[in-house]
Amino acid sequence: MTQAPPDADARRAIKPVICYPNDTLPAPDLALYARARATATKVDEVLVPPRDARTFVAKAGQFFRISSVEGPQVGDLNLHNLHDLSERFYSGKSRALHGTHLTTGERMWSSFPHLRPMATITEDTLGWYGIDAFGGSVHDVVGTRCDPYTNNLLSGGQYHHCCHSNLTRALADYMGVPRTEAEPLVHDVLNVFMCTGFTRDTGQYFMKASPVRPGDYIEFFAEIDLLGNLSACPGGDCSSEHSSDTAACHPLLVEVFAPKEGSLSGWQSPKPNAYDRSHG
């Protein structure tokens, strides 16, 4: 431990600066989305089994809802452009633009070079939670997803139902390819319903029991044609561990809703980022 310099307190007292002020971000028209949602009917649903994953499709202009249906359960969500799987959710940039946890009115942004909204959160029944006394909050873009490689590194175990493994199997099944071909497309997630933060003393990533209960949901507006991939985490509510065959786990329900034709008048699916790469 190095000795603190005489001006250590003054250095610590320097006020922070927000890296990416987001007041110039294109704002979603939540009122338009709400009017369209009021006309929508359910066109599909997928039940994601505990300790497993399933894919689903939501077309641009549709809504998809992820719900807790039997008991406290968190999920790991991947999103891809349905027509180009290399365009995928960029959790790091979404975190930089909105913060460590997402809620109503905030967006899931896509990877370079596209960098456009993939989905906008339109409803969140856990929006009341805010940030608790430990610094915890819900729906994080901090954790990467539980995976068998880190599990093996830390415990020497061979566990095959980590969210990374589940997402890989589900995507491989959708694509009809070997898992080794699908795996590189699996990416950092939106941890749906998961309650997380960083410890104040060591700065370590922590999880705690999710406040989600049956009937809670988070709903999204699909800004582009999406392939979704959702894993019901083997940690259940993540109150104690996240790679486990003993934690109480429950299914998650995905429902897709299509608004009435004409109810999104004036809305257009966002185009890819306009940055001219030829000058880079």
In a domain, 162, yes or no: yes
In a domain, 236, yes or no: yes
What Cα–Cα distance (Å) separates residue 201 from each residue in 7, 204, 258? 21, 8, 47
In a domain, 19, yes or no: no
- Residue 126: which domain range? 44-251
In a domain, 29, yes or no: no
Among 113, 43, 101, 107, CA closest to 79: 107
Phi-psi region of 156 (alpha: psi -120 to 50; beta: other; left: phi over 0): left
In a domain, 77, yes or no: yes
- Put simply, whether the predicted model's pTM sits higher than 0.85 gets the answer yes
In a domain, 25, yes or no: no
- Per-residue pLDDT of the chain in tens (280 residues, 90 and over written 9): 799 999 999 999 999 999 999 999 999 999 999 999 999 999 999 999 999 999 999 999 999 999 999 999 999 999 999 999 999 999 999 999 999 999 999 999 999 999 999 999 999 999 999 999 999 999 999 999 999 999 999 999 999 999 999 999 999 999 999 999 999 999 999 999 999 999 999 999 999 999 999 999 999 999 999 999 999 999 999 999 888 889 999 999 999 999 999 999 999 999 999 999 988 7
In a domain, 272, yes or no: no
Please tell me the total count of domains within the chain.
1
In a domain, 99, yes or no: yes
Helix axes 148-155, 163-175, angle to 10 degrees: 150
